[in-house]
A = this chain, B = another copy of it.
Amino acid sequence: MAVRTTTAFERRGLSDEQLRQLFRNMLLQRQLDNRGFQLNRQGKVPFALGSEGHEALQAGAAMAFERGKDLLAPYYRDLGLCLGVGLTPYEIMLSIFAREADHNGGRQFPNHYSSKATGILSFSSVLAAHIPHAVGAAYAIQYRNESGRAVLCTNGDGTTSEGEWHESLNFAAVHKLPIVFLVENNLWAISTPIEKQMAQPEIWKRAVGYGMPGKRFNGFDPVETYACVKEALERARSGGGPTLLEGMCYRFLAHSTDDNDMTYRTKDEVTEHRKSDPVPRFEAKLVEAGIMSEADVAAMKKDVLRETNEATDRAEAMPFPKAEDLYTHVYEGAWQPWQ
């Protein structure tokens, strides 16, 4: 289908097809999120963590990512990003169900997606620990003169307080590495509001200190996100060095199924932010711009549900890791009890 110009919103070069794809990623993300929480309520999985509120940001950023070229160093809230760069709902579900076929073999918490084939680095639950890894990967790319490639590295607002975040940005700037640091600022770090995390809440302003460009954008807008991340990634891919991006969003849900956010923030606050919920908002925009009809939307939602159901059923039917799997991949080769 040819690209049409619409007046409804800036499409930043995205085709209708791409805009629909963005929206589909957002829908799928929310559906999979819900599924995790449902499964937890049903007692089928002990833990789930959602990224509601991050859908636009993640869908937009993922669209700027070049599959087969770029690398992604995500954090646990990046279900949508990981989907967007190529992970399948089935792979997501394998992680949620901790099945043997999961990339991590059911070893890690859910939401700790990694996949070498997809270019997603492995990370742990220790916040900020993945950021130097992303920088090291960017160094490898630069060292091998693989121009046209870059690393997209994400973390939450709270994680910027860690020393490793600082060290990593500084090193990347010194070496002008092909990397984009994308902070998903949802205003909360579990129960800690941004103002207890930092005195000056505009994280992008730290870029000046490191000597790299910095930019804040509206992470509720997938198209704006796409454009900002794409610009930064292209700079990185073409030798222009790193960028610090700050996407503004909000965490609509509690931190995880282990958390009750009503102990530390008000329902009113959440409701207020819900008014800008990026999913219905983008839906309305697409419909208004004539890029999707109401029927298209309904069909897409149905299809997303179907895909989620299939992924759920398929993953659930898979076997757990075997007890003996505890002993593999400690070192290369077979495990020795005394190692």
Report A's interface with B, CB cutoff 8 A: 161-167, 170, 173-174, 176, 195-200, 203, 205-212
Contact = CB atoms under 8 A, between A and B. Distances in A.
Contacts of A203: 209
Given A205-B208, A208-B205, A174 B199 contact: yes
Count of this chain's copies in the oligomeric assembly: 2
Contact of A198 (B161, B173, B197, B205): B173
A212 B207 CA distance: 15
A195 B164 CA distance: 20
Given A162-B163, A163-B163, A167-B162, A199 B208 contact: no
A211 B198 CA distance: 8
Contacts of A198: 170, 173-174, 210-211
Nearest to A204: B209
Given A163-B166, A166-B166, A167-B161, A211 B200 contact: yes
A211 B205 CA distance: 10
A166 B208 CA distance: 15
Contact of A170 (B161, B164, B174): B161
Given A208-B205, A208-B209, A209-B209, A174 B162 contact: no
